[in-house]
Amino acid sequence: MKVVSPKYDSSGEIVRKQTSIKTYGYKNPADCDDYDFALIDIPTDTSKYATEHILEFQLLKIFLEGKSKNDGVKWKDAAGKPANLCGYMKAYWSGNIRVNVDGTEGTPIEILPTVFPGRDNGFASEFVVLDKYVNGMKERVSTLCSQRPRCCPLT
């Protein structure tokens, strides 16, 4: 089952559209020994920055997989056979069932990620601009969490 995040603007595009977007980075990037990190002025060169979701999209996958694993088999799939949460969702959330939620039509699994910020869904103000290397480290921490669930407080 595949969950697709809404499209979002690059750091260069988003700073042009949201001229007061919060931007986080090193206070003194020229000093490699200074790790002070704070709200900074929007940079004119955004190549060292990334558009950042405050609510990390990977958390949805981590939550669903953890819930499925921890709850065990308590649902039924489309054939009526016992299934875990992911099996149930695959059968009923990503098939031919189409619903309309607040004007958005699709399968439940297509609609679920629309609550995350995206370019066209009204939640773009939830983005920030973040130093891209820090953002990369943050992404890797989330990935490690999903690879080592016993170490992650969310699973």
Residue 14 Ramachandran class (φ > 0 left, ψ -120 to 50 alpha, else beta): alpha
CB-facing half-sphere around the CA of 63: CA atoms within 13 A: 7
**DSSP result, 73-114:** S-EE-TTS-EE-HHHHHHHHHSSS--EEETTEEE-HHHHGGG
User: 16 or 137, which is more confident?
Assistant: 16
Which of 117, 114, 131, 143 shows the shortest CA–CA distance to 9?
A: 117
Average of per-residue pLDDT across 133-138: 83
Domain-located, residue 1: no
Q: Where are the alpha helices (DSSP H) in 3-149?
A: 11-17, 58-71, 85-93, 108-111, 132-147
**Could you list the residue range(s) of the whole structural domain that residue 53 is in?**
11-151
Domain-located, residue 6: no
Question: Does residue 151 register a pLDDT over 70?
Answer: no
What is the percentage of the chain residues whose pLDDT exceeds 70? 90
Domain-located, residue 125: yes
User: 59 or 147, which is more confident?
Assistant: 59
d(CA 128, CA 71): 35
Q: How many separate domains does the chain show?
A: 1
Domain-located, residue 104: yes
- Dump pLDDT digits (tens) for 62-79: 888 888 888 888 888 888
Instruction: Tell me the pLDDT band of 143, cut-offs 50, 70 and 90.
Output: low
Domain-located, residue 2: no
